[in-house]
Amino acid sequence: MTHKIILDTDPGIDDAMAIFFAFQHPEIDVLGLTTVFGNVPVTMAARNAVTLCDIAGQDIPVTQGVGMPWVGPESTYAHFVHGDDGFGNTFPKASEKPLDPRSSAQFIIDMARQYPGEITLVAIGPLGNLALALRLEPDLPKLVKGVSIMGGAAFVPGNVTPVAEANIWNDAHAAAIVFAADWKLTMFGLDVTLQTPFSPTFMDKLADKNSTLGGFVKDASQFYMDFYSQNRDDKVCFFHDAFPLAHLIHPELFTVTEGQVRVGTGELDRGQTVVAPAGTTASPLWTEAQTINVATKVEHDKLEQLFIDAYAL
């Protein structure tokens, strides 16, 4: 079975690893990359996405989308995690290919109308593009197969504040809109991604299997790994963004919990994804909230082998 997806992204080192995995796996059909601010400014995100397509030999639409949070000032970005170029200061030659002229939100709507009920929206950055698409096309939930999000922290601490994960924190009001929509949504947050570290040996294997794509990920990840290895005895990094893609094709690797979700938008709870597991409360504040699935565990060894095998194709 082939899964049609639109990959909404802010490349980003782990975005690059995820995008290449999606390109490589025969059961994933990437209709386009829609870009958003997050790890880097949106103009850089769009150009990085086109560059990744060039490196992978993929000729698909790339659009530029939302460049600011739904509410509040411009982001400060995550160059301290991903480098000045978003690729660990490796500075690959930027593609000069033009972007698709549509906004990311409009591209999402156009593709959903073209392939009703067939597309999974895979969002691995802040959620401004999806929120805007919902505002422009209120029937969007009826037009897509589902939504898979890398973001949030349901039952574990955040990584930006004690309660918030970066993608959700970066555009909390947009996230509140997306999580409240009436569609099938699965969240892959820090509950599962931070429990699954990848060692330098993993990057070596990707490079051995695919010198172009795996070699790029290995080189870019050195800066990223240094960030994640601070205050640890071992060297590790975390490829958060590939998890929702792996779940598409091998859901049996994951344990998920169903529950009602609310997203905080206040000063102290900005970006908090509070999930009440199904049946744990009778409060209308929760029983009337949207139900989602939250990934909480994954079979680490099988997940790692899945990524390696895909890069070898």
**pLDDT digits 0-9 by tens, 12-34:** 999 999 999 999 999 999 999 99
Distance from C-alpha of 207 to C-alpha of 21, rounded to nearest angstrom: 13
The pLDDT, as a whole number, for residue 42 is 98
- β partners of residue 185: 147
185-188 and 254-263 strand pairing = unpaired
Task: For residue 240, give the DSSP letter.
Answer: G
- Per-residue pLDDT, averaged over 57-70, amounts to 98
Distance from C-alpha of 54 to C-alpha of 173, rounded to nearest angstrom: 34
Does pTM surpass 0.95? Answer: yes
In degrees and rounded to multiples of 5, residue 212 shows phi and psi of -80, -60
pLDDT tens readout for residues 120-164: 999 999 999 999 999 999 999 999 999 999 999 999 999 999 999
**Could you say which of 3, 8, 10, 241 is catalytic?**
10
**What residues make up the domain containing 41?**
3-311
3-9 and 119-123 strand pairing = parallel
Are 13 and 224 within 8 A, CB to CB? yes
The pLDDT, as a whole number, for residue 227 is 95
- Per-residue pLDDT, averaged over 180-203, amounts to 97
Q: CA angle at residue 309 from 208 to 11, to 5 degrees?
A: 80
Helix (H) or strand (E) holding 53: helix 42-56
In degrees and rounded to multiples of 5, residue 72 shows phi and psi of 105, 180
What are 261's two structure tokens?
Answer: 């979700």
SS3 157: coil
Number of separate domains in the chain: 1
Q: Is the pLDDT of residue 119 over 90?
A: yes
Closest to 104 measured CA to CA, from 12, 175, 35: 35
- Per-residue pLDDT, averaged over 176-198, amounts to 98
The pLDDT, as a whole number, for residue 286 is 87
291-298 and 254-263 strand pairing = antiparallel
- Per-residue pLDDT, averaged over 56-64, amounts to 98
Mean pLDDT of the chain: 97
**Could you say which of 173, 240, 241, 247 is catalytic?**
240
Active-site residue 240, yes or no? yes
pLDDT tens readout for residues 266-303: 999 999 999 999 999 889 988 999 999 999 999 999 99
Question: Where residue 161 sits, what CATH number does that domain have?
Answer: 3.90.245.10
Q: Is the pLDDT of residue 1 over 90?
A: no
Active-site residue 234, yes or no? no
Q: Is the peptide bond before 266 cis (omega within 30 degrees of 0)?
A: no
Q: Is the pLDDT of residue 199 over 90?
A: yes
How many CB atoms lie under 10 A from the CB of residue 229? 15
In degrees and rounded to multiples of 5, residue 256 shows phi and psi of -125, 150
The pLDDT, as a whole number, for residue 83 is 97
The pLDDT, as a whole number, for residue 307 is 98
pLDDT tens readout for residues 200-226: 999 999 999 999 999 999 999 999 999
Cα 182 to chain centroid, rounded: 20
